Structure 1
């Protein structure tokens, strides 16, 4: 056994041909497990992308439900940001590694939103659902149990009867209106970007200053004051990042967590901006094309001030 989640226990395994796999076994006590099982099989049977975890197979017989995925050797982004006591060694991620992971995850989400036959909303974007390969060069989005396929005229939004997701990553507009959209994923990804920059959890009630509990508001207030140094994870700071790249990624992140979805960029726009940042930092210059796009626009095409939410 290598882990446990809301679905059930996760096991490491190896197929007859030697392929390593991760096997999620449904807990009979899980209330949402069966619906997540069928949803995940449905969604992952429709998609194929380098930055999405692949479903190898599944079992559904004799009251046994299992999902078999490709095995991601280095665990989740969350493990490496905050540590996981079940893992013997945790590699601390420097700034360039974090930038590469962010762009990889963004590419996976962009594909879900606009690259497959149907628009798919992941619905649970968070650092624990971004998994890392053995060489730490590839990051993949995982866990599609809450994902939603959007058809026809419903490609913009999807109405849900109850709120599902993870505290700290939930789109506030979705929380109040029950309207789920691709911009809900953008919000969750923005929180992940802030975690990458700061090394802080989305909600931390252990802090003495209650105003700092919410990561989004804490970062926004510091950036409004021009104090980017205060929000940096010491590991990021020790990586000697370019200050203009730090500001660029921070602005992308803050724009993604705008309270109103209309003012957030699309994942396609986020990918464009992160590609520019990656190039500026000297990463993968041959893989990602040059771009002169620096300003972030909302879906109306107007330039926006990311530090003054509307």
Structure 2
């Protein structure tokens, strides 16, 4: 299957396949807030590209914030959440207030979603989890309830 994919890319002649597991894209399409730096700067495509986008969605779900807001400092949700965490503020201030957390279990779920989202958006794409790890994390919690 990978050989077929490589052939397809060569036939299309728009992207450059690398032997180390990623592709260099020649055209950018998509919502920029969901695209990681390695793609925006170097056009690197890997499975970790989707993991990053999923991490942004998890941060949105946990916080209720939009991924990019021009009037927020910092504008990017990843930088905003990380900056609040570095400042030592309790992560519950990031919780989407519309969720109405009523118990420690609710806060635990929020924390799991937030922390998983942050793991998905680390700058070095090689350090991001694979989707199987993310799914297993959520399945473990689901099965323990």
Name the TM-score, length of structure 2 as normaliser: 0.77
What RMSD over aligned residues (CA atoms) do the two structures have, in Å?
Answer: 2.3
Deviation track 1:181-217 (CA, whole Å, cap 9, x = no partner) reads 000000000000000001111001133xx22x21111
Deviation at 1:221, TM superposition (A): 2.0
Alignment counterpart, residue 246 of structure 1, candidates 92, 110, 117 = 110
Name the TM-score, length of structure 1 as normaliser: 0.38
Residue 84 (structure 2) aligns with: 222
Deviation at 1:240, TM superposition (A): 2.6
Cα distance in structure 2, aligned partners of 1:240 and 1:278 = 19
Cα distance in structure 2, aligned partners of 1:163 and 1:247 = 33
Name structure 1 gaps, 5 residues minimum: 1-116, 119-151, 283-310
The answer on whether the counterparts of 1:198 and 1:232 sit within 8 Å (CA) in structure 2 is: yes
Residue 126 (structure 2) aligns with: 262
Alignment counterpart, residue 141 of structure 2, candidates 277, 281, 306 = 277
**1:235–1:278 distance in 2 versus 1, CA, 3 Å:** farther
Give the number of the structure with larger relative contact order, counting CA–CA contacts within 8 Å between residues 6 or more apart: 2
The answer on whether the counterparts of 2:67 and 2:76 sit within 8 Å (CA) in structure 1 is: yes
- Would you tell me which structure has more strand in proportion to its own residues? 1
The answer on whether the counterparts of 1:249 and 1:277 sit within 8 Å (CA) in structure 2 is: no
Residue 206 (structure 1) aligns with: 71
Name structure 2 gaps, 5 residues minimum: 3-16
The answer on whether the counterparts of 1:172 and 1:259 sit within 8 Å (CA) in structure 2 is: yes
Residue 7 (structure 1) aligns with: none
- Would you tell me which structure has more helix in proportion to its own residues? 2
Deviation at 1:272, TM superposition (A): 0.9
Residue 96 (structure 2) aligns with: 233
Instruction: Report the count of equivalent residues.
Output: 128
